[in-house]
Structure 1
Amino acid sequence: MSHAREHQRDRRPTWKPGKRAVGSGAPARPDEGRGAASATTALVHSPAAALRGVPALVVSGVAFLALVGGAGIAWLPMLAVGPALAAATSRPWGVVRIGFLAVALGAVLGSRGEEPGRDQAIVLSALVAVTLASSLASALRGRHERVLADVRSVAEAAQHALLQPVPATVGQFEVAVRYSAAAAEARIGGDLYALVPTPYGVRLIVGDVRGKGLPAVSTAALVLGVFREAAYDEPDLLDVVARIERSLARNLGRDDFVTAVVAGYPDAGRMEVVNCGHAPPLLVRGTDVMAVDPTHPAPPLGLSALTGETPSLQVLPFADGDQLLLYTDGVTEARNHSREFYPLIEGVARHVSDEPSRTVAALHDELLAHVGGRLHDDAALLLLRKPAMACSTPAAESGLRPTG
C-alpha cells in the first residue's frame, strides 16, 4: 500500500480496457433508478412543453407585421412557420389548430389587400399543405417518442437485473454506490459491481469490461451471474475468481477481457482482496487514504490462460471505522479541459466522512465538475465502511450460516 501523500496523481490501472461502454442516463444512483424512466421522459419533453406557445406567437407576430406594414400578402407566407414549428412541440391536433389560425388570419389579411384572388388562393393553399404535412410529422414524432420510451423502460429493467440496487447496509457494513453512465440516453454499459452477504462473509466485485455496446453488457451480465453464484458456493475467495475465469475462458473472444477487484470479509478485522488488472482500491483509515497496490499483479479475467499468471490473495487489516473504496477507470481517467486526470486520492481525502453516502455523493459531484458536467466513460464508485458494532462472526452478522 502506498500513502496518499506519496501520490501526486492517482495510479492508473495496469491493464487498460480501452473501452467506451454504452452508458446514459443511467440513474446516477442505482437505488433511485425506478423513477429514472419517468424523470428522463419529463426532461425530454420539458423543452417542448415550454415552446408550445411559440407557434401561436409566431403566427400572431406575422399577422401583426402584415397588418401594420401594409404590404398586402407579402408577409403571409411566413404564417407557415407556425404549423411547421408546432410539429416539433405539439400533437397533430395542436398542429391543426395552429394551421387553422394561420389560414384564418391569412384569409382575413389577404382580403384587405389589392392582390388578385389567385395569389391569395395560392398562399392559403400553401398554408393548408404545410399544416397537413406538419400534422403528419407530429404524428410520426409521437410514435418515435413512444417507441423510445418503451426502449428506455426495457433498458431500465435490464439495469435493475444486471446492477441490482445495493442497500445502505449489507451485513456489518455501511455501503454507498454511485454509477454514472457516459451518455444520458443509455442505462447500462460495461462497468459492473455487486455486493452480497454469503455464508463466508460479505463479498463484493467491481469490474470493467473491455469493449462497448451489447457485447460489453452481455459480458458484464455473465461475470455478475457467475460471481453471485460462486460467492455462495466457494469458501475460498480465489476459487470464486477461478470460477469467473473459467466461465470467461469458455465464452469470451480472444481479445476480450475484464479487469476486476474481488474482495471479501471472512473474519473480523480481515479483508481479502484479489486484483485482476484493475485500478487499486483505496483504503481509508481515519484521515489517511492509501492505495492498495497488488503485491503480485495479475492479468485481467479472461487472459490468465495466455499469460500463465494466476491471481494472488492480498490480506488487509480492516478494523472498525475503516473504509474501502472500489471504482472503475471512468473515475481516475476523467479529464478536465486541461486534460488533467481527476485526482481521486486527493478527492477522497477532502470528502471522507463517517457517512459513505455523503462521501460518494461529494466525490461524484466533484467528478462531474472536473469534467465540465458530462462524463466520457462509465464511472462506478462503491464505498463500504465498517462501523463499530458488537457482533460475533461475519456469518452470523450477515444472517447466514455456513453449510457443510
Structure 2
Amino acid sequence: MSQAPHHDGDHVSMRLFGNRMAGALGPERRRATGQPLPGLSLLPVLVIAVVVLVDNTGGAGMIWLPLLAAGPALAAATNGPGGVLGVGFLAAALGTTLGLEQDVPAGEVAAVLSALLAVTAASALASGLRRRRERVLAAVRSVAEAAQHALLQPVPETVGPFQVAVRYSAAAAEARIGGDLYALVSTPHGIRLIVGDVRGKGLPAVGTAALVLGVFREAAYDEPDLLAVVGRIERSLARNLGPDDFVTAVVAGCPRSGHLEVVNCGHAPPLLISAAGDVTAVEPAHPAPPLGLRALSGEVPRLQHLSFTAGDQLLLYTDGVTEARDHAREFYPLAEGVARHVSEDPAHMLSALHNELLTHVGGRLHDDAALLLLRKQTAETADGRMSVPAPAEVAL
C-alpha cells in the first residue's frame, strides 16, 4: 500500500484524478471548481431579507431600499451568473413592492430599479469571469498534482524490514509543489533514500528537483557504492545548474544488516532515534559542500557509518521544518518535538510532528517542508527472510 504525501493547509492526498461530482468535493475543491460552499449561496438572500425587514420596521422608505443592491453584488462572490440574476430579480421585485406600498414617487422607484439592474448585470458578468478563472485554476491544480505525483512518487509504508513515513508541505499551497525533494528506492544494494532542498523557488527549483531525483533513482540502482551515487548527481548538476545554484541533500543507504551509510552534502543533520527513545543529531564528521558546488570548494563527500538495529529510526528533513518560526520568531525545536512524539508507528509520529509544527507557526508554513522517517522493525534471517525479533534482541 502506498503512502501519499500530505500538504500544508488542506493536507490533501495526492489523488491524481479524483471524483469530480459535487457531493464528493471537499470545501477547497468546491471553491476551485466554482461551486458554492453549502450555506454561502443563501447569504445574498439573507442580506435582502434583512434590508426588507429594516425598511418595514423603520418605515424609512428610500433610505434603505438602495441597499437591496448589496444582494446581487454579494451573489457575484458566492453564486454563478444564474444565481446572481435570480437574486437581482428578487431584489427588484421586493424593491418595487415596498416602493408602491410606501407611496414612494415613481421616479425614485425607477431610480432604485435602474441601480439594481445595473448592479445585477455587472455582478453576473463578474460571476461568470470568476467561474472561468476558477475552472482554469482547477485545471492548473490537476496538472500540478500530476507533476507532483511523477516527481515525488508515493513511498511504500513498508520496504522489506523497514517502515517508512513521509510528510510534505509546499509553502505555495495552490501549486502543491516546491523545491524540496525526497525519494526512497529498493535496490540490489539495499534500500537507498534521499532528502534534499533546492536553492530557490518556483519552476526552476522544481526542474532542479526533478533532475536530482531522476539521476538518484537511476544511480541508486546501478551503483554499488553510495559515494558513486552522490558523484553521479554532482556531475549531472555541474553540467546543468547555474553558478549560483546548488542542492543540499542527505543520501543514506542500508547496504547490509545492522549498518547505515550516510552522506551529508551541506544539509541539516538527520536525527537518529534509538529503540530506547534517545534522539541524536547525526552531525557529519567531514562536512561536504552542497551538490553542485564541489568544484568550488574541492571538498569530497565521505561516508558516515552508523549502527541501525531493530527499533531504531532515522528522520531526514528539510530546513523548512527547523527554520519555521512562531510569532515570537523562535525556531521550531525539532529534536524536542521528536522526543515528545516518539512512536513505533512512523506515520503517527510524523503526523504528530506535523500538527505541532503547524501549531508552532500559527497554521501556515512559509517554506516548503519535508519529513521522511525510516524505522527498522524486523530482523532478517540468514536466508534473507524477515522475522520479528524478541523485544530485548538487537538484530538486523
Per the normalisation by structure 1, the TM-score is 0.87
2:286 equivalent to 1:296:
yes
Partner of 2:390: none
Partner of 1:323: 313
Partner of 2:295: 305
Deviations 1:267-304 (A, max 9, x none): 11111111000011111112211111111100000000
Deviations 1:220-256 (A, max 9, x none): 0000000001111111110100000000001101000
Partner of 2:333: 343
Query: Which of 73, 94, 113 is the aligned partner of 1:124?
Result: 113
2:173 equivalent to 1:187:
no
Aligned residues: 374
Query: Which of 41, 46, 71 is the aligned partner of 2:29?
Result: 41
Q: 1:24·1:183 contact (CA, 8 Å) conserved in 2?
A: no
Show the 5 A alignment for 1:238-317. 238-285=227-274, 286-317=276-307
Q: 2: distance between equivalents of 1:368 and 1:172?
A: 31
Deviations 1:349-375 (A, max 9, x none): 111121111111111111111112111
Distance 1:282-1:365 versus aligned 2 partners, 3 A rule:
same
Q: 2: distance between equivalents of 1:36 and 1:282?
A: 39
Give the superposition deviation at 1:76.
1.6
Query: Which of 325, 347, 350 is the aligned partner of 1:357?
Result: 347
Q: Which has the higher contact order (CA 8 A, sep 6+)?
A: 1
Q: 2: distance between equivalents of 1:360 and 1:345?
A: 13
Query: Is the deviation greater in 87-96 or in 23-32?
Result: 23-32
Q: 2: distance between equivalents of 1:355 and 1:332?
A: 22
Show the 5 A alignment for 1:132-147. 132-147=121-136
Give the superposition deviation at 1:46.
8.4
Q: 1:24·1:185 contact (CA, 8 Å) conserved in 2?
A: no
2:223 equivalent to 1:220:
no
Q: 1:26·1:187 contact (CA, 8 Å) conserved in 2?
A: no
Query: Is the deviation greater in 199-208 or in 355-364?
Result: 355-364
Give the superposition deviation at 1:262.
0.4
Give the superposition deviation at 1:31.
6.1
2:361 equivalent to 1:371:
yes
Partner of 1:208: 197
Distance 1:82-1:121 versus aligned 2 partners, 3 A rule:
same
Distance 1:30-1:179 versus aligned 2 partners, 3 A rule:
farther
Deviations 1:161-186 (A, max 9, x none): 11111110013211011111223322
Paired amino acid for 1:232: Y
Paired amino acid for 2:356: E
Distance 1:114-1:320 versus aligned 2 partners, 3 A rule:
closer
Q: 1:30·1:163 contact (CA, 8 Å) conserved in 2?
A: no
2:149 equivalent to 1:160:
yes
Q: 3-state SS of the aligned residue for 1:208?
A: strand
Q: Which runs of 5+ in 2 are unaligned?
A: 1-5, 387-396
Give the superposition deviation at 1:382.
0.5
Q: 2: distance between equivalents of 1:31 and 1:99?
A: 40
Q: 1: distance between equivalents of 2:154 and 2:235?
A: 27
Q: 1: distance between equivalents of 2:195 and 2:96?
A: 68
Distance 1:165-1:393 versus aligned 2 partners, 3 A rule:
farther
Distance 1:192-1:136 versus aligned 2 partners, 3 A rule:
same
Deviations 1:136-166 (A, max 9, x none): 1111111111111111111011111111111
Q: 2: distance between equivalents of 1:199 and 1:231?
A: 9
Q: 1:27·1:33 contact (CA, 8 Å) conserved in 2?
A: no
Paired amino acid for 1:175: V
Give the superposition deviation at 1:33.
7.3
Q: 2:14·2:149 contact (CA, 8 Å) conserved in 1?
A: no
Paired amino acid for 1:100: F
Q: 1: distance between equivalents of 2:260 and 2:31?
A: 43
Show the 5 A alignment for 1:47-66. 48-66=37-55
Q: 2:8·2:365 contact (CA, 8 Å) conserved in 1?
A: no
Distance 1:144-1:289 versus aligned 2 partners, 3 A rule:
same
Show the 5 A alignment for 1:389-400. 389-392=379-382
Q: 2: distance between equivalents of 1:120 and 1:226?
A: 72
Distance 1:327-1:30 versus aligned 2 partners, 3 A rule:
farther
Q: 2: distance between equivalents of 1:297 and 1:36?
A: 48
Q: 1:28·1:178 contact (CA, 8 Å) conserved in 2?
A: no
Per the normalisation by structure 2, the TM-score is 0.89
Paired amino acid for 2:302: S
Show the 5 A alignment for 1:32-111. 38-39=25-26, 40-42=28-30, 48-111=37-100
Q: 1:48·1:88 contact (CA, 8 Å) conserved in 2?
A: no
Q: 2: distance between equivalents of 1:289 and 1:251?
A: 38
Q: 3-state SS of the aligned residue for 2:250?
A: strand
Q: 2:265·2:287 contact (CA, 8 Å) conserved in 1?
A: yes
Q: 2: distance between equivalents of 1:311 and 1:114?
A: 89
Instruction: Output the aligned Cα RMSD.
Output: 2.2
Q: 3-state SS of the aligned residue for 1:331?
A: helix
Query: Is the deviation greater in 62-71 or in 45-54?
Result: 45-54
